[in-house]
Amino acid sequence: MKKKEVEAAYQSMGIDPRVLDYCNKIEEELKDRFIRIDSNAEYNQLKVLKAMQDNRLSDVHFAATTGYGYNDIGRDTLEKVYADIFQAEDALVRPQLISGTHALTIALSGNLRPGDEILSPVGKPYDTLEGVIGITPTKGSLAEFGITYSQVDLLPDGSFDWNGIKASIHSKTKLITIQRSKGYASRPTLSVQRIEELIRFIKECKSDVICMVDNCYGEFVDIIEPSQVGADLCVGSLIKNPGGGLAPIGGYIVGKAEYVENASNRLTAPGLGKEVGATLGLNASLFQGLFLAPQVVSGALKGAIYAANIYERLGYPVHPNGSEERFDIIQAVTLNSAEAVIAFCKGIQAAAPVDSYVTPEPWAMPGYQCDVIMAAGAFVQGSSIELSADAPIKPPYTVFFQGGLTWYHAKLGILMSVQQLYEQGIISLP
Ligand SMILES: *Cc1c(COP(=O)(O)O)cnc(C)c1O
């Protein structure tokens, strides 16, 4: 394929040659970083393959079960494969875990009892957990069951408040929740290495405390996972990284066998635990998505880095910045105006395989103080390993975007966003 033909193909998608040229020069400079991302993906691909081979994955594991789902050997094998990949004692990987929030809820409520306290030593957890924990009073929250919560924020420079953490651990402290990804906050995302330091310190303060990591958006970004550096539980969503875009639903909980069992007793019923839960024919997608996940995550990471470098060069604040090492797949770009945010999201939408003809508009989404705009054209509804962007329409007008099942799609999305800003005269190119 000649370069000229690729350029013509971009032009046929509506990308101005000046936009393409500007972005191609930046892409050229990212070669070495992309090679490092590829080598992580290569390692993780082997790790996933090894786990599938060691567990003798076979097409009998793709058969559908119904009803109670007793003896679902596909489900049991999937859980062994997850446990091996995460180097954990056991795993609960289920379509009945309907989201990341649900998986976290099950991990927490299965392992906490009235009178216990949860500590977050990394600041406020992800929005949806506020209701779960009861930080925002909510029916059915852990707070209603007599479970208390305490929080220690990161210091202004993003480091751990060691003294504050030590002072907050006491006899009631049962579980420490550590969110790896910044999510949609402005703090730094934690590397697996920083999580290791934090867990080591916590275990020195109180050895029997359960350290749980909210691993959402972090899986396969590095070549090790938090469960390999002391996390007792690691929890995430299958419509993010480890589902590889093919999982249509699901969540996972991996870690110490006792804690995974406690979670399974809460998900199904005390005494039934992991023994029940039909998979209704979803196993093949969950396996195949996991098989693709290292490659998919590498594409999403390249897209995030590409966007950071382009928008940084255009003069916009980006977080993480263009050269920082990555520990999750989320990119924030501060665009300084509502028009720019809307243009950006239109570009992402226009690049989608599904609903590309739809124009995203800001709307008053329930639970938000201001209008929110969302761009997504996904095969799986709400999947954020697929290319998607969202932004609250308020200063400083920051758009968060993530995903892309292939690097080429992520690239087109970002080119389309730049094209929109360019067409509307919001940016000028040299
Ligand atoms: C997405 C996310 C969650 C919640 O997952 P849902 O599947 O959206 O419920 C929790 N924590 C973090 C850090 C996340 O990114």
- Outline which parts of the chain fall under CATH 3.40.640.10: 66-278
CA of residue 99 to ligand 1 center, whole Å:
8
Beta carbons of 340 and 362 less than 8 angstroms apart: no
CATH of region 66-278: 3.40.640.10
In words, the CATH class of domain 3-44+291-423 is: alpha beta
- What is the whole-number distance in angstroms between the Cα of residue 328 and the centre of ligand 1? 12
Residue 96 near residue 277, CB atoms below 8 Å: yes
Q: With contact defined as beta carbons under 8 Å apart, do 286 and 250 qualify?
A: yes
Cβ–Cβ under 8 Å, residues 232 and 209: no
216 CA distance to ligand 1 middle (Å): 6
Side-by-side strand order, sheet with 233-237: 90-94, 251-255, 233-237, 210-214, 173-179, 117-120, 148-151
Q: 295-316 burial by CB neighbour count: b if 16+ within 10 A, else e?
A: bbbbbbbbbbbbbbbbbbebeb
Query: Which pLDDT value is given to residue 1?
Result: 59
pLDDT at 301: 98
Residue 275's pLDDT is 97
Specify the DSSP element, H or E, that contains 414.
helix 407-423
DSSP string spanning 88-129?
A: -SEEEEETTS-SHHHHHHHHHHHH--TT-EEEETTSSPPHHH
Write out the two tokens for 144: 């209603």
Q: From atom 2 of ligand 1, which residue's Cα is the shortest distance away?
A: 216
Measure 128 CA to ligand 1 centroid, in angstroms. 8
Please choose from 237, 240, 253 the residue to mutate so as to test ligand 1's pocket, defined by most ligand atoms within 8 A of CB: 237
With contact defined as beta carbons under 8 Å apart, do 100 and 235 qualify? yes
414: number of Cβ within 10 Å: 30
pLDDT of residue 302: 98
CA–centroid distance for 239 within its chain: 9
List, run by run, the mean pLDDT of 10-residue segments along the chain (430 residues).
88 97 97 98 98 98 97 98 98 97 98 98 94 95 98 96 98 98 89 98 98 98 98 98 98 98 98 98 98 98 98 97 96 96 97 96 83 94 95 94 97 98 94
CB 421 within 8 A of CB 402: no
User: How close is the Cα of 102 to the center of ligand 1, in Å?
Assistant: 9
The ligand 1 site (C-beta within 6 Å) comprises 99-101, 126, 128, 179, 181, 183, 214, 216-217, 237
Pocket test for ligand 1, best of 96, 97, 98, 101 (most atoms within 8 A of CB): 101
Residue 290 contacts residue 308 (beta carbons within 8 Å): no
* Calpha distance 228→89 (Å, rounded): 11
> How many other CB atoms sit within 10 Å of the CB of residue 343?
22
Question: Please, what's the b/e burial string for 370-394 (b: 16 or more CB within 10 A of its CB; e: otherwise)?
Answer: eebbbbbbbebeebbbbbbbbbbbe
pTM above 0.85, yes or no: yes
Distance of alpha carbon 176 from alpha carbon 117, whole angstroms: 9
Structure confidence at residue 203 (pLDDT): 98
Would you state the pLDDT for residue 183? Answer: 83
- The atom number, within ligand 1, closest to the CA of 99 reads 7
CATH 3.90.1150.60 domain range(s) in the chain: 3-44+291-423
- Looking at ligand 1, which atom is closest to the CA of residue 182? 13
Distance CA 392, CA 398 (A): 7
User: What is the CB neighbour count within 10 angstroms for residue 72?
Assistant: 24
Which amino acid belongs to residue 260?
V
